């Protein structure tokens, strides 16, 4: 599962807890602190919505990268199958043509043997045609090997392109995640710092307020 979840604003709980200890009636004591806390609370809500927006942006970017990868690999796989199919057709055509030539030489042999007037001439004809057939087989095998080598070279290049596309997808995906998470982390750290400062000051104020009330 490649879904990316950004870190939440855990400090919001501490912020709310501190705010709950500051009543509206106590504004005369806390001054603008409670309003500042409310402002921080609103800012936190805004940041949480931004967090959801960033997560959707990550998913959208990753989906686009996945679709691009699928399209590229699909085209390359289609090209691979096409090259293999062309090779198979050419090999079949080459073999059929070779067989046609050999069949023709055999017919020539039968005709020549029928017209031959001596055993010596017949033996010579058999030897010649068998030699021609052997040469044809070797020539066909050589041509087939050359075609096979060309195919393997082409398929190797296609496979290399597929591997490159997948590596690029992995690099781009990781880069997308890191960029957006880094942006969020920067905003989250700044906000947490502001809240921590406010909570520190407010907590002391709350304790002093409680202490002052208890002495009355």
Q: Of the candidates 169, 173, 192, 177, which has an alpha carbon nearest to the alpha carbon of residue 54?
A: 177
pLDDT at residue number 140: 96
Cα 208 to Cα 19, 99, 211, 212, 213: the distances in Å are 15, 105, 5, 6, 9
- Output the pLDDT for position 9: 65
Residue 201 contacts residue 40 (beta carbons within 8 Å): no
- The tens place of each residue's pLDDT in the chain, 216 residues long, gives 344 444 556 788 888 889 988 888 888 888 889 999 999 989 988 888 888 888 888 889 999 999 999 999 999 999 999 999 999 999 999 999 999 999 998 888 888 777 777 788 878 888 888 898 999 999 999 999 999 999 999 999 999 999 999 999 999 999 988 888 888 888 888 888 999 999 999 999 999 988 877 765
In this prediction the pTM is 0.67
pLDDT at 128 (0 to 100): 85
In which residue are the tokens 């501190």 written?
18
Nearest to 9 by CA among 49, 58, 38: 49
What pLDDT, on the 0 to 100 scale, is given for residue 216? Answer: 58
């Amino acid at each position: 599962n490649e879904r990316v979840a950004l870190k939440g604003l855990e400090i919001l709980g501490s912020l709310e807890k501190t705010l709950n200890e500051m009543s509206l009636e106590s504004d005369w004591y806390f001054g603008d602190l409670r309003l500042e806390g409310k402002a921080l609370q609103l800012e936190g809500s805004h940041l949480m919505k931004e967090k959801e927006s960033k997560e959707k942006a990550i998913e959208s970017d990753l989906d686009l990268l996945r679709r691009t990868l699928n399209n590229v690999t699909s085209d390359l796989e289609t090209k691979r199958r096409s090259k293999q199919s062309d090779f198979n057709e050419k090999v079949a055509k080459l073999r059929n043509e070779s067989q046609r030539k050999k069949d023709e030489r055999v017919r020539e042999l039968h005709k020549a043997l029928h017209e031959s007037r001596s055993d010596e001439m017949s033996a010579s004809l058999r030897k010649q045609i068998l030699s021609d057939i052997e040469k044809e087989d070797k020539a066909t095998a050589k041509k087939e090997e050359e075609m096979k080598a060309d195919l393997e070279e082409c398929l190797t290049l296609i496979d290399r392109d597929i591997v490159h596309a997948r590596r690029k997808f992995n690099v781009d995906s990781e880069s997308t995640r890191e960029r957006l998470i880094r942006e969020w982390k920067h905003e989250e750290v700044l906000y947490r710092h502001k809240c921590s400062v406010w909570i520190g000051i407010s907590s002391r104020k709350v304790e002093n307020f409680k202490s002052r009330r208890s002495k009355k």
